[in-house]
Structure 1
Amino acid sequence: MIDVMAVRALVAVEQSGSVVKAAESMGYSPSAISQQIKKLEKQSGVALLERYGRGVLLTERGKTLAERGRQILDDVELLESTLLADPEKPEGTLRVATFSTASRGLVAPILKKLDGSGVRLSIIGEDPREAVDRVATGQADLAVVHDWQSVPLAIPDHLEVENLCLDDADVLVNSGHRLAGAAEVFRRDLLEEAWISTPAGAICSEALMQVFADLGRVPNVRAYDPDFSTHLEYVSLGVAIALVPQLGRPPLPENVIPISISDMCNQRQVQIVYRKTMAASPAIRHVVELLHHAAEQI
């Protein structure tokens, strides 16, 4: 009889392209994953992996087994989330991937409500692209992500998406800045400004780049930092301006002024994603409901 754990190991190797990375994602040692693959090879009588540089590739038979294995794993997950779960008693540990401001503004507020409920959250901070990948590959059960209108987020077909709320972003300037008295500004007014941005490649950084994209310019970024609290400090000191969403934003210092860009909508859609096979899970439904309620309070 084929071991589901062994099939899960093969699928993880296919998704990651490496025994080591598959082991990391599953929480096992590389040798344990290799043993599971060897078990499948012994049962099937054919090689399932082949060396390729420093990584591995699946053979043709390996690809076939992994494809059918994913279907089996989906069916097992669906069985566990529905037939084997008590709909009146959500329980278990959910692995949640979320970006930092949603962790502060949406996830943290629901933790008290989960105390004593039987549902526990294991939370990891991730950029939305990585969070979607974690859910898609089974490394997380649920993710809170954001989708900027200017930088769409790709969601695989086997994931369910629910909209939570819209999150506006403001341009933050020091109270002594030449634009501090303006209720709103045009993008061309900001062309020569020094900015602080999230790290290059992050979605929020790409959203800032898109502000000037059709003007044939890129913003003058003086500093990169993943923490919006650092952005507020730079603005407070008058050494940079910043594009900062409102969700989970710390209170603004008295000398930091928010203004809006009149000729561009800087808004992101905050969403929940989870695998469709988990849609009926009592624990997933309970947490999703709490997140919707938290979003309504914003």
Structure 2
Amino acid sequence: MIDIGSLRALAGIEQHGSVIAAAEAIGFSPSAVSQQVKKLEKEAGFAVLERRGRGVLLTERGLALAAYGRRILAELEELQSTLLADPAKPSGSLKIVSFSTACRGLVGPLLARLEQSGAALSVAVLAEDPREAVARVANGEADLGLVHNWNSVPLVIPEHLTLEWLCEDVADLLVHRSHPLAQRPEVEPAELVDEEWISTPAGAICNEALLRIFADLGRVPDIRVYDPDFATHIALVEQGVAVALVPRLGRPALPSGVAAVPVVNPVQARHVGLVHRRTMTASPGIRHVAGLLREIAASVPGA
């Protein structure tokens, strides 16, 4: 009889491209993954992997077996999250992947509520960009992902995931109090083309959103500093070094030397949502955490 662990190892290699990457994703050692594959080949009676240079490729029959394996593993996950779980008692462990401002604005309050409620749920949190969060949830490395989708930068969601929007998060232009725009009730993109900016790193979704602001103007923003932490953005604005576009979710109280000015035409906003695998929809733990996140998102001031 084919072992579930062997199917999981083979599906991991197909998803991640190598034995080492699969081992990291599913929490086995590379040698354990290799042993699982050898066991699978013995049980199946045919080779599922072939060497190609320093790496491996799945054989034709290996690819077919991995496809069956993914379906079996998905059905097993759905069984464990529904019939084998007590809907009245959310329990077990969940791994959440979230972008950093949602960690502060949503996940922090979530953990506090779970602690106060005494729920038997253990939650681990990893901060990553939404694209990485989607990938981790899609391949089973995480159970829930908090993601954002700027109105100008769409986020691709695989079909086997479900996405629920929680709230809208508006971003403001942050400038030093002495800046000419500091007293304005609002500004438009055309008024910002000559500013010096601090931005999240190139390739990050928030960086792409900043670039898109100026796309219709035929200009590229003058980005002088790249840093992933919005707290650094605020600090540099306070020092008069640059201006920044910073969302309100998870944003701390601004220093007295920093002014927030709304950007219009268009308003700069991102939708914040929750993703999980469809097979986990009925999981008591997922349902409980999703419900708490809805409540928290609805009460976020300014978002």
Which bracket does the TM-score occupy, shorter chain normalised? over 0.9
Deviates more, 1:286-295 or 1:177-186: 177-186
SS of match in other structure, 1:243 = strand
Residue pairs, 1:87-106, within 5 angstroms: 87-106=87-106
Task: Please tell me the residue identity of whatever aligns with 1:237.
Answer: Q
Q: Cα offset for 1:260?
A: 1.8
Whole-angstrom distance in 2 between the partners of 1:2 and 1:39? 9
Q: Match of 1:25?
A: 25
TM-score, normalised with respect to structure 1: 0.98
**Is the CA contact 2:166–2:297 (under 8 Å) kept in the aligned structure 1?**
yes
Kindly tell me: are residues 54 and 264 of structure 1, through their superposed partners in 2, closer, same or farther at Cα, counting changes over 3 Å? farther
Kindly tell me: are residues 261 and 53 of structure 1, through their superposed partners in 2, closer, same or farther at Cα, counting changes over 3 Å? farther
Q: Match of 2:46?
A: 46
Task: Please tell me the residue identity of whatever aligns with 1:111.
Answer: L
Whether 2:164 is the aligned partner of 1:162: answer yes
Task: Please tell me the residue identity of whatever aligns with 2:30.
Answer: P
Q: Match of 1:74?
A: 74
Residue pairs, 1:247-262, within 5 angstroms: 247-262=249-264
Residue pairs, 1:1-298, within 5 angstroms: 1-115=1-115, 116-298=118-300
Whole-angstrom distance in 1 between the partners of 2:94 and 2:84? 16
Whole-angstrom distance in 1 between the partners of 2:54 and 2:99? 32
Whole-angstrom distance in 2 between the partners of 1:56 and 1:171? 49
Task: Please tell me the residue identity of whatever aligns with 1:67.
Answer: A
User: Once the two structures are superposed, what CA deviation does each residue of 1:33-58 show, in whole Å capped at 9, x if it has no partner?
Assistant: 11111111111122111233443221
Whole-angstrom distance in 2 between the partners of 1:281 and 1:188? 48
Whole-angstrom distance in 2 between the partners of 1:209 and 1:185? 17
Runs of 4+ with deviation above 4 angstroms? none
Gap runs ≥5 in structure 2:
none
Identical aligned residues as a percent: 58
Task: Please tell me the residue identity of whatever aligns with 1:232.
Answer: I
Task: Please tell me the residue identity of whatever aligns with 1:182.
Answer: R
Task: Please tell me the residue identity of whatever aligns with 1:57.
Answer: L
- What is the aligned-residue RMSD (CA, Å)? 0.9
Whole-angstrom distance in 1 between the partners of 2:194 and 2:53? 47
Whole-angstrom distance in 1 between the partners of 2:53 and 2:276? 34
SS of match in other structure, 1:262 = coil
User: Once the two structures are superposed, what CA deviation does each residue of 1:250-292 show, in whole Å capped at 9, x if it has no partner?
Assistant: 1111111111222222111100000000000000000000100
**Is the CA contact 2:2–2:44 (under 8 Å) kept in the aligned structure 1?**
no
Task: Please tell me the residue identity of whatever aligns with 1:90.
Answer: P
Whole-angstrom distance in 2 between the partners of 1:55 and 1:135? 25
Whole-angstrom distance in 2 between the partners of 1:206 and 1:230? 19
Task: Please tell me the residue identity of whatever aligns with 2:160.
Answer: H
Whole-angstrom distance in 2 between the partners of 1:124 and 1:3? 30
Whole-angstrom distance in 2 between the partners of 1:193 and 1:54? 49
Q: Cα offset for 1:59?
A: 1.0
SS of match in other structure, 1:185 = coil
Task: Please tell me the residue identity of whatever aligns with 2:141.
Answer: Q
Task: Please tell me the residue identity of whatever aligns with 2:288.
Answer: H
Deviates more, 1:112-121 or 1:245-254: 112-121
How many corresponding residue pairs?
A: 298
TM-score, normalised with respect to structure 2: 0.97
Task: Please tell me the residue identity of whatever aligns with 1:283.
Answer: G
Whole-angstrom distance in 2 between the partners of 1:54 and 1:143? 33
Q: Cα offset for 1:202?
A: 0.5
Task: Please tell me the residue identity of whatever aligns with 1:48.
Answer: V
